[in-house]
Amino acid sequence: MSRSIDFKTILLACLIISIGQLSMGLVFPSLPWIAKDFDISLDQAQLLVSIYLLGFGPSQFIYGPISDALGRKKVLLTGLLIALCGLAMIILFSDSFSGLVAGRFLQGIGTGCCAVLARASTRDKFSGPDLPVAMSYIAMAASITPLVAPVIGGFINAHFGWAMVFISLLGYVVFAWVIIALRFQETVSAKSKIPSPKKMLIQYKELLTSRYFMSFASISWLNFSLMITTVSVMPFIMQDQIGMTSDEYAMWAIIPALGMFAGTSLCNRFRPILGNKRLLLLTPMLHVVSALWLFFCPIEPLYLMLGQLLMILGNGIALPCATALVLQPYKTQAGAAAAMSGGGQMVVSSIVSMLLVQLGLNQAWHLSLVITLFAVLTLVNILRGFSAPQPNA
């Protein structure tokens, strides 16, 4: 590994990106209890996830180009203040479901700065062969946190109630804001005017029409959507069909979380040996095995978690590889590229999760069909991306 790898920078970027992911994942195990307290359906409770993503995703499209012009630190601290306002609203209006929804949307808008600026600031600091290594650590944090978060959220919910989940998030964001204010060093040296909406649209149009960008970005979008859908549906399968408590589910959820850690570790270890293409091709293979397992396995905790483990092992390989590949050609447009990649990931996962829940996705064999479809789409994008010319930006 190159000596130029600065792990303090990477740790700060991991802290930043964890804020948005924890804000989403900690809430998953609480949804059945929130639904019970407000006497609403589980589909309605799921709105607290979808509305967060709808704020989190699109806001990145604004944070990216603005941070290219004004710098990362100022934009980052402002976004986190917006997130704190959203969390305060949730806590103050915890007796109103509409208050929770409004607060979650504002929280999502604020934390949207985290994903884009963590990746963009990393792209600012690293180049050449160091960039894929650094980006793989960021992708690892972005991928593992949503899986570890339900474990933590399940314990908090079981012992202190769902309101404490949001109070804990408020404390975490305050802690992160202070660390960033004291330790984060600005990575953009040349400041400029904020781009006009027209210029932003032109930048995004160029990215959306790039076969290279869209292929590798789609791999991230598909795999993250699949992971979020599975993590949000599995608590209902485990709690409603098997009858376990959120505390028990939190323990079982450690198994797929280990799958993500293993996948990202394998990605770092074997990418220099196998290359990006051959490593990425393992993902659809693992997903097909996972789909077959979930289709035929008994509805028992160990079997369900092993099936999810296989799927998330594939996600753990795909997400770091795709994230590094999608940003590598972009230097002067790092913010815009990170925004399009990360924002698209959240928008797609929000829409996909909402659609699948509306279609009645609540059985293990339902998940197996979805995993198979996504495996095929991932394979198509891998082949398409590596045959596309790399842009110069």
Average pLDDT over residues 255-266: 82
Q: What is the mean pLDDT of the segment spanning 253-269?
A: 81
Average pLDDT, the chain: 86
pTM: predicted TM-score of the whole model, two decimal places: 0.75
pLDDT cut 70: percent of the chain above it: 96
Token look-up 């008994």 returns 298
Residue 245 confidence class, pLDDT cut points 50, 70, 90: confident
Q: Are 135 and 337 in contact (CB under 8 A)?
A: no
- Three-state DSSP at 127 gives coil
Structural contact between residues 149 and 28, judged by C-beta atoms closer than 8 angstroms:
yes
* pLDDT band at residue 125 using 50, 70 and 90 as cut-offs: confident
Contact between residue 140 and residue 320 where contact means Cβ atoms under 8 Å apart: yes
Residue 305 has pLDDT above 80, yes or no: yes
Res. 374: pLDDT tops 80: yes
Per-residue pLDDT tens over the stretch 176-185: 999 999 998 8
pLDDT at 393: 60
For 388, the token pair is 């596309």
Find the angle CA(289)-CA(293)-CA(297) to the nearest 5 degrees. 175
State which CATH number among 2.60.40.420, 1.20.1340.10, 1.20.1250.20, 3.30.300.30 fits the domain covering 7-184+196-386.
1.20.1250.20
Helix-strand-coil split of the chain, %, nearest 5: 85, 0, 15
pLDDT tens string 198-228:
888 998 999 999 999 999 999 999 998 888 7
Q: Which of 334, 368, 350 is nearest to 127 (CA)?
A: 334
pLDDT tier for residue 3 given thresholds of 50, 70 and 90? very low
376-383: Cβ within 8 A, 24+ apart: 376/284, 377/218, 377/222, 378/219, 378/222, 378/223, 378/283, 378/284, 378/287, 378/318, 379/281, 379/284, 381/215, 381/216, 381/218, 381/219, 381/222, 382/215, 382/219, 382/277, 382/280, 382/281, 382/283, 382/284
d(CA 299, CA 288): 19
Q: What angle do CA 180, 28, 266 make, to 5 degrees?
A: 70
- Residue 375: is its pLDDT beyond 60? yes
The average pLDDT across 272-276 equals: 85
